[in-house]
């Protein structure tokens, strides 16, 4: 509930992007300091609902199951790309009631599903491509991207090595994401494993 208006749980990925942006902007505008959230695992259930609904839509149009899945996946990727672009525009153009821009951080990188992998790659692809006029696109600042690195997931030959490699490529173009190591004896990894 925000400003006496009840938000129903989103039933699709595009709606989830909008609701999350509203909540993040409202909550971060009511405090000093930063506001962090997890993007891939938060968006995953809405992406799954959207994907399943898109498959049903294409099956009703008499496409084969394989064609329906391919078309649904292409649509889902486009919705994710547009959603991350929406976040970048909103988080970098809408100031808070205090007149400043909220320091918003999106953590990601731990989701193992095909959908999470796609979301992780899309958030970095959108950041690397930048925003602005054609021929003059620049990476934006918010949400600050933080890649949650786990050597057991992202290390060489591990399950999510491709996602880590995508993060390295994004770094080359936009100086983001930042990295937080969830491996080793550091304080952050100890708290992550404990809680």
- Stretch 122-147: mean pLDDT: 94
The percent of residues above 90 in pLDDT, for the chain, comes to: 71
Decide which of 125 and 36 is more confident.
125
* Nearest by Cα to 154 from 186, 106, 108: 108
- Stretch 165-190: mean pLDDT: 91
Strand partners, 146: 107, 178
What pLDDT sits at residue 7? 84
What pLDDT sits at residue 28? 77
* Nearest by Cα to 21 from 82, 100, 109: 82
DSSP per residue, 75-122? HHHHHHHHHHHHHHHHHHH---TTSS--EEEEEE----SHHHHHHHHH
Strand partners, 179: 147
- Stretch 108-137: mean pLDDT: 95
Instruction: Determine whether 192 is exposed, middle or buried from the number of CB atoms within 10 Å of its CB (0-12, 13-18, 19+).
Output: middle
Residue 56: C-alpha distances to residues 46, 59, 63, 78, 133 (Å): 16, 5, 10, 18, 37
Give the tens place of pLDDT for each residue, 81-98: 999 999 999 999 987 666
pLDDT band at 184 (very low <50, low <70, confident <90, very high): confident
Cα(140)–Cα(89) distance, integer angstroms: 9
Decide which of 119 and 30 is more confident.
119
What pLDDT sits at residue 97? 67
Task: Check whether 169 has a pLDDT greater than 90.
Answer: yes
Give the tens place of pLDDT for each residue, 18-54: 999 988 888 877 776 678 888 999 999 999 999 999 9
pLDDT band at 99 (very low <50, low <70, confident <90, very high): confident
Task: Check whether 189 has a pLDDT greater than 90.
Answer: no
Mean pLDDT is lowest, of 7-11, 106-110, 174-178, 183-187, for: 183-187
Strands 103-108 and 144-149: parallel
- Stretch 160-186: mean pLDDT: 93
What pLDDT sits at residue 73? 98
| Spatial contact of 123 and 106, defined as CB atoms under 8 Å apart | yes
């Amino acid at each position: 509930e925000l400003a006496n208006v009840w938000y129903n749980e989103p039933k699709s990925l595009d709606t989830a992007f909008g609701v999350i942006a509203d909540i993040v902007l409202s909550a971060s505008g009511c405090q000093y300091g930063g506001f962090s959230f997890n993007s891939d695992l938060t968006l995953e259930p809405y992406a799954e609902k959207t994907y399943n609904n898109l498959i049903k839509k294409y099956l009703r149009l008499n496409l084969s199951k394989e064609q329906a899945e391919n078309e649904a996946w292409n649509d889902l990727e486009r919705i994710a790309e547009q959603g991350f672009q929406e976040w970048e525009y909103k988080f970098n153009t809408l100031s808070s009631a205090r007149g400043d821009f909220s320091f918003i951080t999106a953590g990601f990188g731990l989701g193992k599903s095909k959908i999470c992998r796609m979301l992780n790659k899309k958030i970095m692809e959108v950041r690397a491509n930048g925003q602005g006029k054609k021929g003059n696109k620049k990476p934006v600042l918010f949400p600050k991207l933080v890649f949650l690195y786990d050597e057991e997931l992202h290390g060489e030959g591990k399950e999510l090595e491709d996602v880590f490699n995508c993060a390295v490529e994004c770094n080359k173009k936009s100086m983001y994401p930042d990295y937080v190591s969830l491996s080793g004896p550091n304080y952050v990894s100890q708290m992550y494993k404990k809680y």
